Amino acid sequence: MTTLGVLAGYAAVLLANPRHFYTDDTEAQYVPLWLDVGRRLREGNFPGIAPEQWMAGNFLVEGQASVFNPPQLLVALLAPSFDNLVVLATLVKLAYSIVLALGVFRVCLAYRAHPAWAAVAGVAFCFSGWLLFLDQASWVLGLAGTAWLTHAWASGVHYARGRGGPIPVFVFLFFAITLGYVWPGVESALMIVAVAAGEWVYQRRPWPSVRLLLAAGYAGAAGLMTYLPPLLSADVTWRTADEAIHNDGFMTVPWSESLNASLPSTLPSFNSWFGLIQPMPIVYIAWFLLPALAFIDWKAAGQTLRESAGAVIFAGIALMWTAGPAAFGPLRWPARVLPMLALALLVLCCVLLSRHATLTNWRTRGGVAGLLVLILLVRSVSAAPSNRIWTHIGAAAVVVALGIVVGLVFAKWGRTAACAALLATIAPIAYYQVDSSYPHPMSWNLPASRSAAQALFPDFDGTTLQLGNSSIFPGDAKDLTGVYSSLVVGLYAADLGLDYVNGYTPIGHRAFSERTCMRWEGSTCPEAFDKIFAPEPVTGEPLVDLMKVDRITLMRLVYPDARDNPPPPGWHWVDYPPNDKWIWVLERDTGPVSTAEGRIAHTDGVDAVSVSETENTSTVRVSSAHGGRITFARLAWPGYRATIDGREHDYVALDDIFVSVEIPAGTENAELEITWRPPGMPLGIATFVLGLIGIGVLQLGYIRHWWRSRPRTGKSDPRPDPLAPAPAEHAESFARV
């Protein structure tokens, strides 16, 4: 039933918006990144650095290429086989959503919930507001990380209570950490701390919690290699910690918004990219969450709350964080923690309903539930009153009606039937919410078909630099016959199989960004044209020459009169009908330079001949009678190493951008090798091995304890296990995939 519930929800969402799961960062960053990484893997290359992509081309500093994450590497390997990218994104997200729902199902069972209620929690969480409209629509690694987090949570409870070993905890945490998206890693750490604290409260002894923290620590050590390259490269990026903690109120969610959590029509009020009132119900959790509190026997729930203390603590941590501050160093936008609050509250609600739901004194309880719905209505109307009052009233009426129906089903046929009725309501509400928000306000509407896009886009060989601003793309021209016939945004060039300097990077390279005024999604300022043709102070060469760019496309909306001016020396204007409706194109008089002499960009007093060239390494034969300099078309990321005839040699970051090497006087026919290796990798490999050894020791300890405590007579121990789960009849039918 859990899997069927997710499938039904996905079908409803796709009916409302077939592109819902191919939105924003999914279309402009993640899917193209999968294609790029997948091509490299199929060619037998490790995805390390792509010099032609410049600021967005360092896969390990970006982290979100997930090159150490086995499930994501599988996704990347499969990605190039898909032509329709909407289908690819939807299938990947469906798979992760099923994994997620089953993970929530397992968490609920770990706290002794009935399987029917565990299924309700799993499906409802998958279609809660933030997860549906942001993590599933756009930030897919948030979805993936949360999926692995839930399984780590369930496995952690099992390990702490002696029902399972440490390896599942290690594996699921490793999957969450190595995604390279920092939020799931941090949230997983907080979850483990909360669960460990909760188990100490429940079991009243520290050692199960200590063992759990050790298993999590070993997973963190194994996954540390994912974060060492970005940490050790932070000084050259945008993501410095100059302001370790600050609060400007952006993407911080007041606690009062929790009172919107059960009204499907709610549009919460807090500061974000969309202004004060959000266009999507991103604080919505489940329509039954708050009204159901009236039907719990709270007098009998004390022991259950103590047993589920980990979820209580985790909910408290999430609630505190969502309210601010706005940034802890590189961790910004605390609204991203909303799914953790929704997860913890749904687990608690469904565990309590599973074990303590009651209809005794139903008139009083019904009155309390009605009061809770009235509070929901008042709060939602207060958050977004304009033209929404009747919509909110209608939504409140639906919640009341659904509650009455589910209550009657519970009274007549029991909890399994009531849970089935609850499950049946989730997909229609998801349809209503997505349909009401159509089209998704964050959509780029990039082409779905790679082959169709490639057929219409100019066949630009070599390396292209685009100058323009994607934020002013006309809304009615965001399609294959419009701007996307000749302009790129984010990593769209990877969909086309083309080499563009422009890309998508949340990390950035500060010096390169300043010199070219290039933004996170590849846009540039109008002054970029003058900047790239300004001479670099040391070499005197234009930036565009040192980058070995073959072609420059100028967005006509930004440079409407560019063609009226003569081209810069060494360049000429080229027409690409019919694609030149949106662009002017400059190409070099001499033809492509990106493929000439490897990545040698400039020499001064040095004779240099390229010997071999890979993405990570440039090998050059150099001679210099009086000493000189050789500069490469490589962005000077930390991790480069220079050798001359095998001996270490210093290199410099010319203008803080280009890898440049001073060649000593008297050098004759020497071999200069420039090689990039991810910074911190030796330490990362060491901690990975340490993590494996540590978890191996814990597993041996677990096996030894299990062997010693097993029944010796061949008969089961008749004494009940106080930590064992309650009987779960027909659990398989609710978890079957």
CA distance 218 to 384: 47
Q: How confident is the model at residue 115 (pLDDT cuts 50, 70, 90)?
A: very high
**Using N-to-C axis directions, what is the helix angle for 85-110 and 31-42, rounded to 10°?**
100
Model pLDDT, residue 240:
67
Average pLDDT over residues 420-442: 96
- One-character DSSP codes across 628-672: EEEEEEEE--TTEEEEETTEEE--EEETTTEEEEEEPTTEEEEEE
Residue 578: CB partners within 8 Å, gap ≥ 6? 485
Q: How confident is the model at residue 735 (pLDDT cuts 50, 70, 90)?
A: very low
**What is the tens place of the pLDDT at every residue in 531-589?**
999 999 999 999 999 999 999 999 999 999 999 999 999 999 999 988 789 999 999 99
Domain with CATH 2.60.40 in the chain: 600-679
Phi-psi category of residue 655: left, alpha or beta, with phi > 0 → left and psi -120 to 50 → alpha: left
Model pLDDT, residue 260:
86
Residue 628: CB partners within 8 Å, gap ≥ 6? 603, 604, 605, 606, 662, 663
pLDDT greater at residue 273 or residue 466? 466
> What are the φ/ψ torsions at residue 301 (nearest 5 degrees)?
-90, 0
Has this prediction a pTM greater than 0.85?
yes
CB of 350 closer than 8 Å to CB of 108: yes
**What is the tens place of the pLDDT at every residue in 616-646?**
999 999 999 999 999 999 999 999 999 999 9
Count each helix (H run) and each strand (E run) in the chain, helices first: 26, 19
Q: How confident is the model at residue 329 (pLDDT cuts 50, 70, 90)?
A: confident
- The yes/no answer on whether domain 600-679 falls in CATH 3.10.450 is no
pLDDT greater at residue 708 or residue 656? 656
CA neighbours closer than 13 Å in the CB half-sphere of residue 690 = 15
Mean pLDDT estimate for the chain: 93
What is the rounded end-to-end Cα distance, in angstroms, of the chain? 9
**What is the tens place of the pLDDT at every residue in 336-348?**
999 999 999 999 9
* 733 has pLDDT over 60: no
